[in-house]
Chain A
Amino acid sequence: MARLDRRAFVHGVAVSAAAAAAGLPGRARAAALTDAAGRSVEIPARVTRVFPSGPPAAILLYTLAPDLLLGWPRANRADEREFLLPDIGARPEVGRLTGRGNTANLEVVLALKPDLILDVGYIDPTYVSLADRVQQQTGIPYALLDGHFSKAAETYRALGTLVGRKDDGEKFANHAQSTLDTMTQRVARVPEDKRPRVYYARGPRGLETALGGSINVETLEFLGGRNVAAERRGGLAVVSIEQVLLWNPDVIITIDRDFAASVRQDPTWAAVAAVRAGRIHLSPKVPFGWVDFPPSVNRLIGLWWLAKILYPDLFPEDLRALTRDFYAMFYHVALSDPQIDRVLAGRD
């Protein structure tokens, strides 16, 4: 893990001098930015085309500067495009470029002539070495930004600087930070033992869950919800119904439609406190998931949704209005009432 000072945005001239010396005419720049991995990335003078390395980067870039997005790691489905700008949402599939399991071809990346490759995620040595290698092979600046939820504001500011839209970056950074601050302040009033115990369910049987520290439950942990599976740390895992009965969670959050539809009639789940209390919630997921994936700024609106579920008294705000505002600002679309209904119903 490259642990580093993420506040540092160093503007230097050394990199541009080096770039000029390396014979990259047209790429000679006056500034560089230290990215989240501590790598110095030159800031292109004019950015018109950005290649997103994966879904988190694509979503982050779409919110701030949709016109710069070259394409999507995976083509959007029709039901997703409905909640995106029509021309941008329909841009082509360009593959992924994130560490293990590339689907993008470097020659395709070069043929698209991006001014910048943007990667947003966790900073680990695999990604850092990938970034260095791709940057060296292609000569295109490759910026690695921190995808951690709590760093959303800094990441927006860094992106604003990189693409030459500092004001927009600042606007989104402030919005993200104020959401995060609101959550932190209100949740702090709830004593630890009063916070609901939550089971995060995936898969059609609801028996796939996320352990402590998993990115899937980052929103849940940020809101102080007690993940029943957090006694072990890790990623996704399979558990037995017996274990869920033993945990006896107060609330079930699920991303699986089939499970959400069947769990109330399932006799094996009938004894679980959350089922008896009817506290089973299916996460909205268009155009992007609200609580877990992709791990990008799409989860900011999910924070409100989840906070209202966990602490209904503390969060009296109208979710419909919040949804309308969020989709207008971040996804650049004006939602009609039926559209809001469909988003909140969590269907795809």
Chain B
Amino acid sequence: MRNVVQPAEKLSVRRSALPGFMVALLILFAGLAVAFTLGRYPVGLTDVFDVLTARVTGHPSGVAPAVESVILQVRGPRVLAAALIGAALAVAGTAFQGLFRNPLVSPDILGASSGAALGAVLGIYFSLGVFAIQGVAFVGGLVAVAAVYLIGSAVPARDPILLLVLTGVVVGALLGAGVGLVKYLADPYNQLPAMTFWLLGSLAATGVSDLVPLFGPVALGTLVLMALRWRMNVMSLTDEEARALGVPTGVLRVAIVTAATLVTSASVATAGIIGWVGLIVPHLARTLVGPDFSRLLPTAGILGGGYLLFIDTIARTGSSVEIPLGILTAVVGTPFFIWLLASVQRTWS
């Protein structure tokens, strides 16, 4: 899977990324429009427009208070959260695929999701409040990745990247066993359903108050990744070659892992486990703008936001009962993944 020459070649072909970037933007805006207008509670596009302009101008909107409440308190926060989480997972996934030089890597490869899952089920087990559960999940993700990174760096290896991935898989399995144990011990009537629902992923409960704890870490991590995107191209080289170019790979690696873990843990803590987004969207973005990270990373973020907006709109409109996001993304993601496996030789080697 490793090819030293190819990225450099591709970089030299500076084909314009603008059309691809515009497609991604179009998908995001279409996603926003669809997400704002579709929902269980009937809201028209003009209502959305009136409420939002009234919000900006400060004049009364003339829209029924219930509708206004749906737009501002219920659907608005959820739409923003979906766009934010989709973008965060896609950016983190893109960064990790570059860092690990592997197209089959997703943002939870180092245990962020499993750590957050264990934190969340423990929070439910001890009957904590909503925000405490999210906090424990967030910390769980960070701690899990820190542990993986420390173990991975402490063991001497010829291929430190591969060792890191293997450590992530092993620690992830251990954390999964921990989740299983907590579920086994949980009260089957009250706690177990809550854990199951959490692990399936959902934005059903997102409110205005969820946006603050989500936005902070996601914005910080995304900014760091964006700032590093010029250097990420170097990650496809070996350590020796990168050092020869004057790029300190060790520092870069820690920075990327920390930033990606920050956004992944915050996303998972808010929405539960949502797989596939961070795996699929980077590839879609790559087909749009090519492998150069300076364009790939922003495109993946925009595309990821649009993608999760569409998925979440299906999740909340498909039925009077929410369809878990984890299930929807898997249904969409599995065929894509199979296609990816079939074509991976062509695009990555």
Contact = CB atoms under 8 A, between A and B. Distances in A.
Contacts of A101: 184, 188
B77 to A, nearest CB: 9
B41 A246 contact: yes
A contact face: mostly helix, strand, loop, or mixed = loop
Contacts of B70: 242, 245
Interface string B304-335: 00000000000010011110100000000000
Contacts of B205: 203, 205, 207, 241
Contacts of A242: 39-41, 70, 74-75, 316
Interface stretch (B55-63, B160-168, B189-197, B229-237): B189-197
Nearest to B41: A242
How many chain A residues sit at the interface, stated as a range, is 35 or more
Interface string B174-218: 000000000010011110011001000010110110000000000
How many chain B residues sit at the interface, stated as a range, is 20 to 34
B287 interface: no
A8 interface: no
B73 interface: yes
A222 B303 CA distance: 50
A235 B129 CA distance: 24
Contacts of B324: 238
Contact of A239 (B39, B69, B194, B204): B204
B65 interface: yes
B131 to A, nearest CB: 9
Given A240-B316, A245-B70, A202 B184 contact: no
A103 interface: yes
Contacts of B65: 271
Contact of A236 (B193, B207, B316): B193
11 contacts: A101-B184, A203-B194, A205-B130, A207-B205, A211-B321, A238-B197, A242-B74, A243-B41, A243-B316, A245-B70, A255-B190
Interface of B: 39-41, 65-66, 69-70, 73-75, 78, 129-130, 133, 184, 187-190, 193-194, 197, 202, 204-205, 207-208, 316, 319-322, 324
Interface of A: 55, 74, 101, 103, 202-205, 207-208, 211, 229, 231-232, 234, 236-243, 245-246, 255, 258, 266-268, 270-271, 289, 292-294
